[in-house]
Amino acid sequence: GWRLGYGVMPPVMVDAVNKLMVNSNSCTASFTQRAGIAALTGPQDAVEAMVAEFRRRRDLFCAGLDGLPGFRCQLPAGAFYAFANVAGTGLG
């Protein structure tokens, strides 16, 4: 696949992370690197639309969980995972 990533970390960690990652994530194809540059520097309207859609889905999903008896779901701030507190159901 077209996998490309980056890391943000304190400078003191860079050497250790490089040693860890060089053998598992090295040699990203040049066309993938160019696609990454285009994605970061090009128009962001598609990204903004995706963020809005994911936010809508998150809100709908968490509202659905909150509507179940005994469930409480805090809105996740990132990613797409929702962890419902089911203590009110007596199950956990």
The pLDDT of residue 92: 66
Q: The pTM is what?
A: 0.67
What pLDDT does residue 29 have?
87
Neighbouring C-beta atoms of residue 16, cutoff 10 Å: 10
- What's the average model confidence in pLDDT over 63-70? 96
Q: Is the pLDDT at 16 greater than 90, yes or no? A: yes
Domain ranges of the chain: 11-41, 45-89
Pick the closest to residue 57 from 75, 41, 34, 70 (CA basis): 75
